[in-house]
Amino acid sequence: MIRELERCSSDLSALTYALESMSWKGNNIRDARTSSTCRGWAVVRVELLVLRWKIRWRHMHPLDNETAREVFHWRISQAVMPFCVGTGTAMTLTQHYLAANVFFLCFGAWTIGLWLTSEWLSKTRRLLLSRNIRRQPGRLISESRRCFSYEWGGVLFIILCTVSCMIWNRSTRREAEQRDVADHLRVEFFMAPSKEADAVLRSTVTTINGSHIDIPYHELTCVANMISWEDGTHFQNTKFGGWNPPNIPIKAGGDGATEYCQTGLTVSQVIVPTNAERKFKCGDVLVIITYSIVTQPNVFVQKTFRFVSTKDTGFTWKPEPVSDPRLFCPG
């Protein structure tokens, strides 16, 4: 390789001498220059340019470029990289997730450029061109592998850091979407307008989506902690299924769906005395909404509400805390 480089240098010197000679002759016999001489001048200039680039690309690493080093110099990079990371983080926290990914990608690309054009890697690459290394094939192979591991190991580490930032951005977005729906999903529970004893079993549940994200799937389940009548009849630990099919979507911005709770009634314990007039006494019901959002269709979340109806509430359903340990309808 050294001989080839010397031969290329010799050719370069010869072409340079010829170019200078033609320039000197052109100054002395400019008036006698012919069109063929002009073409010869252009050919020599092109051959000289090609030879220079041939030597440059065959005997110099493409990254050992002064222009690239100036662009990715530390005095510039120490401002660009923190700016990209900081702006990406700010975009994530303010829920501008696409812009955050753009800044994280810019940070990764710039850091890779800084690493590959660093002075330390440049010295390592130049070491491979030394005569002492070239004359020892075994050492040349080991040093080449070491240089390759430094270059692309660093690139891989930077890529992992960039991907980690983007994964954090995605995770934050998903959590914010779920939190938005959970905070703005509400339920209204209505007693049927009837004086009949089983009017409580015809109560309707209206699920309202006040978030900014559509709900393509939802399923209603009601669990009666206790529903009792004055004659002693009561339902305890009873499950009710929703009336609507579970795949009816609820759009964002206040859309709702109304369902009956008593469909698919299964009773785990029912006591029905035969002597007394049946009048509704009180009810304590859990309303459970199982749903998924349009951006995460395979993630199912449950939200639970609790409603109580007694003589004190005028036999209308009033919300109560789910975690309240009190028994509103003692058996």
Let me know whether 201 and 276 are in one domain: yes
- Per-residue confidence (pLDDT) for residue 191, from 0 to 100: 80
Percent of the chain residues past pLDDT 70, beyond the cut: 73
Percent of the chain residues past pLDDT 90, beyond the cut: 37
- Per-residue confidence (pLDDT) for residue 163, from 0 to 100: 97
Confidence of residue 299 (pLDDT cuts 50, 70, 90): very high
Let me know whether 99 and 8 are in one domain: yes
Let me know whether 241 and 130 are in one domain: no
Among 250, 228, 249, 234, residue whose Cα is nearest residue 309: 228
φ, ψ dihedrals at 220, nearest 5°: -105, 135
The verdict on residue 274 lying in a domain is yes
The verdict on residue 10 lying in a domain is yes
User: How do residues 238-281 score in pLDDT, each as one tens digit?
Assistant: 777 665 666 778 999 999 988 887 654 443 444 444 444 557 78
Q: Is the pLDDT of residue 300 over 50?
A: yes
Number of domain units in the chain: 2
Let me know whether 142 and 233 are in one domain: no
Question: Which of 20-29, 77-86, 231-240 reaches the highest mean pLDDT?
Answer: 77-86
For residue 330, the 8-state DSSP code is -
- Per-residue confidence (pLDDT) for residue 44, from 0 to 100: 67
pLDDT, mean of residues 286-303: 93
Given 120, 151, 179, which residue is the final one in a domain? 179
Task: Considering only residues 205 and 27, tell me which one the structure prediction assigns the higher pLDDT.
Answer: 205
Among 212, 292, 293, 301, residue whose Cα is nearest residue 252: 212
Assigned token pair, 240: 């009710």
- Per-residue confidence (pLDDT) for residue 17, from 0 to 100: 47
The verdict on residue 326 lying in a domain is no
Containing structural domain, residue 129: 2-179
- Per-residue confidence (pLDDT) for residue 287, from 0 to 100: 92
Are 178 and 296 in contact by the 8 Å Cβ rule? The answer is yes
The verdict on residue 221 lying in a domain is yes
Let me know whether 87 and 234 are in one domain: no
pLDDT, mean of residues 144-148: 83
The verdict on residue 286 lying in a domain is yes
- Per-residue confidence (pLDDT) for residue 245, from 0 to 100: 67
- Per-residue confidence (pLDDT) for residue 128, from 0 to 100: 73
Task: Considering only residues 298 and 49, tell me which one the structure prediction assigns the higher pLDDT.
Answer: 298
Let me know whether 21 and 129 are in one domain: yes
Are 92 and 107 in contact by the 8 Å Cβ rule? The answer is no
Let me know whether 103 and 159 are in one domain: yes
